[in-house]
Structure 1
Amino acid sequence: SETRLRCSDHLSLSLKLIGGSTETPSSGFGPVFEEQPVDTIYPEESPENKIMMSCRTRANPPAQDASIAALSSSRVLGLLHITKTEIKSPSFVLDLDMFSTDEREAVYVKEGQGAVLLCDPPPHFPADLFFRWILNEFPEFISLDKRRFVSQTTGNLYISTVRASDSGNYSCFVSSPSIAKSVFSKFIPLVPIAEREKYPADIKVKSPDTYTLLGQNVTLECFALGNPIPQIRWRKLDGDLPVHRHNISMAGSLLHLYDIQYEDEGLYECEADNSKGKDRHKVHLYVEAPEWVEKISSSERDIGGDYIMSCLASGKPKPHVHFLKNGRMYAKNHELHFTDLTFDDSGMYQCIAENRHGTIYANAELRVFASAPSFEWNPVKPKLLGAKNGRVVIDCKPRAAPRPSISWSKGTELLHNSSRIFIWPDGSLELLNITKSDEGKYICFAENDRGRANSSGSLSVTDATKITLAPSNADVSVGKSARMECATSHDPTLDLTFIWSLDTHVIDFDRDREHYEHKMVNSVPHLLISNTQLRHAGRYSCTAQTPVDNVTASAELVVRGPPGPPGGVRVDEVTTNRVRVIWSHGTDNLSPISKYTIQYRDVREQQEWREASTSPVNVEGNAEMATVINLTPWTEYEFRVIATNTLGTGPPSDPSPKITTREASEFLLSSSEETITYQTRPWSTKPVLSCWGIFVSIAKNTLYGSK
């Protein structure tokens, strides 16, 4: 067809955006797209003779000369170029040819066997086709179920088990949603032959290994022939199917995966199964698309300064990264280094990361500005407070470019660095060990080659906050209460708040109100700790804080309690009725361990834990092993150890590995004229089958000659 796409045919759109001067205030900004041209499809048969595209921006000052221009063909759109953002918008004239007019041959199939009817779609572009099949006459479309399947990749019709009712004429119906055009093939006769046999499942529709982009949707196909009708099942071999982001339809033939993420990558398996056999097919799903690790962002920088603009992208294969400036190639790497910035460095920058699976964009405006110092946006704080003998820092941060020189004065007295006064490189003024004589008006002067400005604030010195009654160390047992007090003196003109913390973590009195309470007792602030637990032990700090200063005092709370569980319990020296149990000491929780108790249970009979008989009878608190006696032979046991001190008994250790005591070999024989019996000792539970042969031999010798 003469209307088919040629690689040389293309249309390029150019948008020229012109912003204001680089010396405008920060309230201005470069062009930002509010609406951009979108991918456009133009059906060849469309009665419309025009294509509409929109491009809308905002900027301060307003953008000028926004235009869309066709550079080549007036009919076929290929690539859009825009000053700020390059947008690749492939849009083509579509076409869907008619099917071949050649007659289709009949398909003869034995009943019970599977059949495949080939669609063989006509030439088309692009590939957004939808396939259905007609039976005998239009519009009798075949309904799809466990037995019949239409591949949306090839268009072929698959019938897993042919029945006599499938006899008829079939036509492949192809439609394109993009251009609202449909065509259908010549009819294909299907002739079932009466013969019913069973055939194993045989997968005929197999999705190939699939590559997809992050966030896209994917459908995997799987369909099998066979009699009885095969059951189709999907699973992910190296993980679970995505929760809430997958759906299986068409009786298992289609696996839909939505909003693909990197964790969805892996190996998927389709299994077809019937009573005659199974078949499997594996599909690799690869998620390969660029993704930003670090993006550029708009920035405003002083003239003459240094700046690094960086963007990093990940993906498989590793994306290639390059920069555009104002829509033109600028640098083929992921980082731009600017030194001694000039106005020429201002502009709209775009970082582009691309691999064979996709392209992503990041946009930013760099504004280089110069201006005389101004305190309009950030003046010196007008009212300043400092605590007596304390420290105060007064910020001075004017807007200026190049960076201004900073100087300070107190009234008319110019300030210089000294043992109590320091002017930081960023312009801040620091005063140490301040007194009432430091009160007054402080003025910050800023100057550069474009002008000068100043801003001032008045400093008032308040009384320092002091702790007059500090908390004291406390020692309590688990379950008891503890109390700590904290009294202060402070400047009465200032608000005072108390903050309590445990080991640097601030106590939340609402969340922990079961144990903590902050209250006044005889006008003295107290921290009350109720029903103290081991976790409440530590260093408690009281911080008295005003808007000007703060002071802290601390004390230790010791909480004593029952011991913790012993560790590392194991068993050795196993005999028929005794073992040796070994353990390591757990924490004594500040009260020495007085004794250990060993417990055991019969694993096979699922007994409750019982206290074991030991040697020695009393296991002292410094012991790390003991022998358990009076056990039953050939029995599976596990053991645990419990520690006790004067404050109580702690939790048990984890159980030891399971062991089995040795078997007992002794048994008793008794006989009479008619019977011979044996009896094992009471502790033996193992059948004495190994002794039967010896017993028979003795019986023969003893009863030789008898009937």
Structure 2
Amino acid sequence: MQPQIFPESPSTGSTVYLECFAYGNPIPMYKWSRVDGKALSKKSQLMHFGRVLRIDSAELNDMGRYKCSAANSLGVTAKEVTLTLRSAPAIVIPLADRHVATDSDLTLECPLATTDSHSSIEWFKDAKPIVPILMPSLQRKRFHTDHDRLVVNSITTSDSGVYQCIASNEKGMVSSSAYVLVRDSAPIFPRQAMPRKIFAVNGSLLSIPCFYHASPRGHSRWVDAGGAKLPHKGRVRDRHGVLIIENVLHDDAGYFFCTAHNRLGKAHTQVELIVLDRGQVRVQSAIPPQPAHYTINISCSAEIDCGQVTDCPEALFQWTFDNRSVNFVPGLHFKTKFREHTHQSTRGKQLIQKVDIQISTLKKADRLQRVACYSLYGEDSIELPYRPSIPAPLALKVEQDQQTVRLMWRRSVNTHRDTRNHAVSGEEDAAGGYLVELRTKEDRQWRAVPRRAVAESESHSITLTDLAPNTVYQFRVRPVDAFTMGDPSSPSTWVKTPPAAPSETIDGLRWRSLDNNTIFVEWNPVETIHRSGDHLRYRLSWSLDDADMTDESQSHEHRFLVHHIETESPQAILKLNASEECRMLVFSVRPMNDQGAGLVSTDTVAYVHRNGDSQHVSHLRTSLY
């Protein structure tokens, strides 16, 4: 039962058929699944009583290993097949127009998606192919191509032009182009690059980079209103073309000038620094005392006095929860709304900028305590009401038999929420209950027990099955409810599951002739990461149709002589008796260990004859009785 893929080299967007067939009596039932645990594509459907898996408009995320299982009342067999899709190449980052200086180096790249490793890339300039080996000696030394990269050294004005990369494979092609201008120019300050006015709050940190265009790049310096160059150290300093003012003071207000120069000339621009008093920033919240759905509404407002209301810059509000940016708090769902209006006070007209944030369903983030609002004009924070965590379960015990592991525990008497009669599972339940986690000695990271491993659950116990054999496990239990996940129990003692026969099947069975009477057989090893039992080995079985036995009275069974050898490595050499006739060799491999034998591989057939190599037969279907 070796699954097949049709067509043999499918491409993205096409319809793909995965087919498997097994003989058996009673007639077997078929099941398809993905080895990586992902669900089958929503665009897939089963056909021919489950024997054929059809995937319409196949996409790259449909690629992977698929397993076909065939089962009847006498047993189960399974095989895997790898689905690989070919697609036209895709350029991840297209080329962009460039302005470069003479005598510099130009590097252009056309990076392709990782699935396009078989694509070829060609480079062109002004529609002519760039082939360094065909260029004159001087040019050949300057141009270098390396698949998706083109490098031109010591570039000159004659190198200006349109550069293009073309990537292609048997499924299609894609291209990207850009104009490269090689020209030297004196520095200029684009009109929108540098603002005329910059506002800073008293006591804040200010950084102003000097933006300009020049080829070659050149250098830049900041000077104050009196024309004095700013030092490289101190509270007010010039650090590699960036004006930095620490703890801004009202005396720092005024004009600053940035001067840029290269070998072709120089230019300068001015910036006016306006220093504002720190505004009044307030944070307020509204939290229901007993929320059915834990929702928080928080507002942050800044009251600003900057002379002309139209000159007031935006406050640039930012939120942090427990010193973490609101964007990096797991399990947090929020939305914000910005508003502003003017307000007449005793000091004149003032601008009030305000941002509201609504936070809902704080799962796993229930313990947030401090919410802070930062802005250009200052900051403020509040403390959220404390929600006590659910105490950890007590006295976790483990009972084990040959097939299952049973966990039992007691509920803490101080539990503030009632988790009785709620679900017990290996995944978090929003309705409340317990979450069971496990880890192994090889992998110390705690993980939720998969639902398929839960055989039976009660309010304070759970029975697990289908755990990996010959593995040392440790367990713990967490209480959960609609709002939070409680502290875990103390870990259980380490428990080792009993060993078992190998569960993986042999794949990649192949052979070749060494001479007229010797066959070399090899296959992919199983259980390379973890072994189900001790003394893993392989049993190679083969039967030889002895064509020299021409006595028709010999039965079919006697004509096929069955042989076995065992080996610990995934390869073996078969020595056959010398013969002048063509003979048929049927062989298979079964993994074994001290606990028993695993599933046998699909039979493979070779014809051995005196005048040539072995001949193989494909699409052979056999049954074992």
Is the shorter-chain TM-score for this pair beyond 0.5, marking a shared fold? no
Q: TM-score range by the shorter chain?
A: 0.3 to 0.5
TM-score (ref. length: structure 2): 0.43
TM-score (ref. length: structure 1): 0.39
